[in-house]
Amino acid sequence: MLKNILRKELLENIHSYRFPLFALICVVLIPLGMSVNNAQYAKRLKDYNEQVRLADEAQTGLKIQDLMAGRVTIKGFRPPSQLSIFSQGLENALPRYYQFGQDGYSQGESSSGDETLASTQGKFDFVFLIQMVISLVGLLFASDMISGEKESGTLRAMLSNSLPRDAILLGKIAGGYLALLAPFLVALVMGVLLLLPGGFPVFADGTPARILVMAAAAALFILIYYVIGTMVSATSAKARTSLVAILLIWCGFQLVIPKLSDIAAALIYPVRTDTQVSLEKSLLINTLETESAKELGRQFDLIFAGAKPDASNDPNSPESKKWAPIRDDMQLKTREQKAAQLAAIDETFLQQQRRQRSLAAALSLISPSSAFGRLAADICGTGDLARTKYIEAVRSHQKALDNELFSKVKRTLMMHDNGRTTMMFSAEPVDPKKLPKFAIADASLGEALKANAASIAALLFWLIAPFAFAYVRFLKYDVR
């Protein structure tokens, strides 16, 4: 019985004018989107390789005097994500690189400067197509599933037979869903096959698993929208009413909730801007260095008062021997104090950002589209998890450079009571070839799924709740 209804529903959808239209949209847009994004990925990868090469050359040729003069900045670049061809996510919003210096790190520009106004409304990628196009088609396919059959009278004809209503509902959902899923899967396979001649490593380590998991998530997402459409159809007596309700739901899920959740989170947990934080850090550095310079100047003047004129240039003079440990101790303290306070500012800022983002993420889960978008982006290495890994790598690299490079250079700025300012330099030898390389640890698929437990739970909720509601409504649906 179920098979018969499933078959009927599948055939009815295939025979309808909607099916070839939808199939055409899938087989054109999905492979096209993937090919275009693959070309963009290749371009970004080329840029990245070139930039890393130049940065490595600059690092290898690093001169200690440039470092002392503050002319050197070490850059750490983020490699583009291979799977960004499926979900661009934060790919263009994340900084292309971070700069590391004695006073900490700062972010470089992002790729979003190259974007057009149209692209700010959503990137034309696989996930965007599913979120914006296929979700709507799924809802529309389901919109007249029950109410349309009631209006045409075929539901009465069906129910005049010895046929349980749950079998009708399940058969109709399964058949309609298959009609929706088939062109989508064909288009996805076509898209992946089209990537092969371009050298995309489809079968590289971990990639097939990620593509499969993402395809499964996409299939679940499409099913969710189909079931939501069914629920609406089983709630309304007329197909036209279903259509209006469905469009409102779609707008809410796709356009309103994701944006409102960001706004609400920003209102509840406001976070300072990068510029404000940067200014605060500059002010702190300036204050600490000025205080240190004044204290060093005072100590220097005390120790070298009455000494021979060149005593300060002679490391073996008694004054210099007394001065050196005091200077080193004060500089160490200042450096430690500066590092601790800068780290505290960064940590507070990151915590505030994390809290705001967590709230926005939690609120956005009201929309299955947001839940799917977050999951897909993390599977593709372009989501929040990639940002977290990037920042972790940056902080770790800064520490490594502090130990291996920046601590080797000592600048001694002194401000004397008479208003005179002096600067003294000293440096330990550094082998630039042995400096650590910037690297970001990729999040594994398991990590991505674990980080998205809430998104997966939200998706399952949006599958089960509308189905349960549709089931209950359809059991009592007035077929007259």
Partner 1 sequence: MSNPNPILKADDLSKRYEDGVLALDHLNLEVRGGEVYCLLGANGAGKTTTINLFLNFIPPTTGTCFIQGIDVNKDPLEAKKHVAFVSENVMLYGNFTARQNLDFFAKLGGKPNLTKEQYYQVMRRVSLQEKAFEQRVKTYSKGMRQKLGISIAIIKDASGILLDEPTSGLDPKAAEEFQEILAELKGEGKAILMSTHDIFRAKEIGDRVGIMKEGRLVMERTREELQYEDLVKIYIDYMKSEPLTA
**Binding stretches for partner 1 (CB under 8 A):** 1, 4-5, 8, 11-12, 15-16, 152-154, 156-164, 478-480
- Find the helix packing angle between 368-379 and 318-364, rounded to 10°: 140
Smallest gap from Cβ 470 to partner 1, in A, equals 19
- Distances in Å between the Cα of 273 and the Cα atoms of 111, 214, 282, 350, 383 are 19, 34, 14, 11, 21
> Distance between CA 292 and CA 101 in Å, rounded?
19
Q: How far apart are CA 197 and CA 191, in angstroms?
A: 11
Number of H helices, E strands in the chain: 17, 5
Beta carbon nearer to partner 1, 160 or 418: 160
**8 Å CB contact between 213 and 449:** yes
The CB-of-353 to partner 1 minimum distance in angstroms stands at 54
Smallest gap from residue 9 Cβ to partner 1 (A): 10
Q: How far apart are CA 133 and CA 351, in angstroms?
A: 36
Specify the 3-state DSSP secondary structure of 413: strand
Q: How is residue 437 annotated by DSSP?
A: P
Is the CB of 13 or the CB of 102 nearer to partner 1?
13
The structure tokens listed for 368 are 């299955």
With contact defined as beta carbons under 8 Å apart, do 223 and 96 qualify? no
Distance of closest approach, residue 473 Cβ to partner 1, in angstroms: 16
> Rounded to the nearest 5°, which phi and psi values hold at 414?
-130, 135
Distance of closest approach, residue 159 Cβ to partner 1, in angstroms: 7
Please identify, using beta-carbon distances, which residue of 163 and 445 lies nearer to partner 1.
Answer: 163
Which one, 154 or 403, has the nearer CB to partner 1? 154
Measure the N-to-C terminal CA separation of the chain; round to a whole number of Å.
Answer: 23
The secondary structure of 16-75 as a DSSP string is STHHHHHHHHHHHHHHHHHHHHHHHHHHHHHHHHHHHHHHHHHHHT--HHHHHTT---EE
Computed on alpha carbons and rounded to an integer, the radius of gyration of the chain in Å comes to 31
Closest CA to 170 of 232, 92, 226, 115: 226
User: In the complex with partner 1, which residue's Cβ is closer, 167 or 400?
Assistant: 167
Handedness of CA 401, 407, 408, 414 (dihedral sign): positive
Confirm if 222 and 184 have CB atoms less than 8 A apart: yes
Whichever of 164 and 208 has its CB closer to partner 1, that residue is: 164
Contact indicator for 410, 331 with CB cutoff of 8 Å: yes
| CB nearer partner 1, residue 8 or residue 399 | 8
Nearest to partner 1 of 11, 266 (CB atom): 11
Minimum separation from the CB atom of position 165 to partner 1 (A): 10
Residue found by looking up tokens 């104090």 in the block: 337
CA distance 138 to 177: 8
Nearer to partner 1 among residue 12 and residue 301 (C-beta): 12
Q: How far is the CB of 237 from partner 1 (least distance, A)?
A: 14
Nearest-approach distance from CB 479 to partner 1, in angstroms: 5
Could you tell me if 231 and 467 are in contact, meaning their C-beta atoms sit under 8 angstroms apart? yes
What is the closest distance, in whole angstroms, from the C-beta atom of residue 24 to partner 1 in the complex?
A: 18
Query: Which residues pair with residue 424 across a beta bridge?
Result: 412
Q: How far is CA 228 from the centre of its chain?
A: 28
Query: Between residues 116 and 162, which has the closer beta carbon with respect to partner 1?
Result: 162
* Residue whose CB is less far from partner 1, 147 or 398: 147
CB of residue 21 to partner 1, shortest distance in Å: 14
Least Å distance, CB 459 to partner 1, is 33
**Nearer to partner 1 among residue 159 and residue 190 (C-beta):** 159
Helix (H, G, I), strand (E, B) or coil at 391: helix
In angstroms, what is the minimal distance from the CB of 3 to partner 1? 9
